[in-house]
Amino acid sequence: MSTSTADLEQIVAAAVSAAPVWRTSGQATRAGWLRALADALDAHADELVPLADRETRLGETRLRGEVGRTSGQLRLFATVVEEGAYLELTIDDADPAAAPPRPELRRLLIGVGPVAVFSASNFPFAFSVCGGDTASALAAGNPVVVKAHSGHPELSRRTAEIAAAALEAAGAPAGSIALVEGREAGNALVQHPAVQAAGFTGSLSGGRALFDLATGRPDPIPFYGELGSVNPVVLTRGAVAARGAALAQGLAGSFTLGAGQFCTKPGVVFVPRGAGFEEALAAATTGIAGGPLLTDRITAAFPEGVGRLAADPGVEVIAHGAETADGARPLVVATDAAAVIARADVLLEEVFGPVTLLVRYDTDDDLHAALGAVPGSLTATLHAEDGDDVTATLELLQARAGRVLFAGWPTGVAVTWSQQHGGPWPATTSLHTSVGATAIRRFLRPVAYQDAPERLLPDVLRDAALARLPHRRNGILTVPLAS
């Protein structure tokens, strides 16, 4: 099914009409709309979860948890809206004695206008119709038009129906959220002159194509894409000696979680040569079964990606997981640092599915040279002991990722105020996050009012509102005490 040009125009026109209402909505009102949407998702979970399972085969337990994550992040953004620091309210009082004389300036962030959101295949709730991009765009004060993912079309339609009805019942304007389907409609959406920003989670090729459309418009718009990530992990010799078996168990569970279809899957792991970690990981992986992949396209791409790795002369197979009748079989392969340096374009290309590449290193110089070839990623993980000198290693890792872990494994992204889910290209097209409270910043723009009469100022820039909101006045930060 594909949305027609005429229908797309009607959908975007409705979003344009809704935009001023969202932009000028009060904090309590907008937070109420977000909570109403969260409540509706929770109330319809018994309907939506089986529908999602039929289309994605991710299982009821995983999907119910994902509904909770999705409604939870909507409630988080309701709190962000109420707290108000995201507005970055800033005031400079007039000073005629300054040289040159200074006018009164009052600055804040406002919603950009209608936002296009492109759903992901691997999170049919949390990165889909009502996922993080939608939640943060609505919280910023913008209506949203979602491009449904072809991997779960029925779920997308029903979720969009529930969302639109819930928002309107709560008092939000018609056009607050809508759905389009089909590649042509998605391309047209990101090029539509009324759309002011876009969020995307998906493949490097698909995201790059949309990025080029967004930036190639006569009026270019920001395109916030999460595209691809190998998420490097470094194990020091001391860490392997101290807890190699536990690290192997943790890695085996992480790279096979969800059949390896997490954007934070540890795809390349640097291990000290001859430390015994390969044998421990092989033992930990052997009994793990794979699972069905999300779409026919992903299913076809997995053996092609594995084949490219296995065909490299410097790569050897270390272990297979258990065979299953329906699903991708987990795989561990290994190479060395010299091969990665020589052929990074082949060996460090993301393979979506349950496979991880071990990279053997002998010295820190070997390790650091190979890390220099790793592309930007969402995460980087360092497992070391207290006595290890890892300063140079950490510098390389934090230059390549938005989130650096020192314990555990990167699969699993907490939805919090401080979360960063984004990294240097090609992990994302920007340095912003798509998860956590500051994801709202993507869909805001600054406006300063100079010598404005108070009656024409936005409510939140008036002195009465400033008494209860975080703001900076004449350089001094004020954070009102919570009532």
User: Which residues are annotated as catalytic?
Assistant: 226, 263
The Cβ-side half-sphere exposure at 433, using a 13 Å CA radius, reads: 19
Through-space distance between the first and last CA atoms of the chain, rounded to whole angstroms: 51
Neighbours of 84 (CB within 10 A): 19
Amino acid at 45: A
Q: Are the beta carbons of 255 and 267 closer than 8 angstroms?
A: yes
Partnered with residue 445 across adjacent β-strands are 110
Three-class secondary structure assignment of 88-106: CCEEECCECCCCCCECCEE
CA nearest neighbour of 350 among 452, 423, 414: 423
Q: Dump strand ranges (E) for 301-430.
A: 316-320, 331-336, 355-361, 377-383, 401-405
Per the CB < 8 A criterion, the answer to whether 373 and 344 are in contact is: yes
Q: Can you point out the beta strands (E) in 133-272?
A: 144-147, 177-180, 197-201, 223-226, 232-235, 268-272
Q: In 3-state terms, what secondary structure has residue 305?
A: helix
CB atoms within 10 A of CB 399: 14
Helix (H, G, I), strand (E, B) or coil at 471: strand
Asked if omega into 100 is within 30° of 0 (cis), the reply is yes
Cite the DSSP H helix spans in 108-170: 132-139, 153-169
Helix axes 153-169, 45-56, angle to 10 degrees: 160
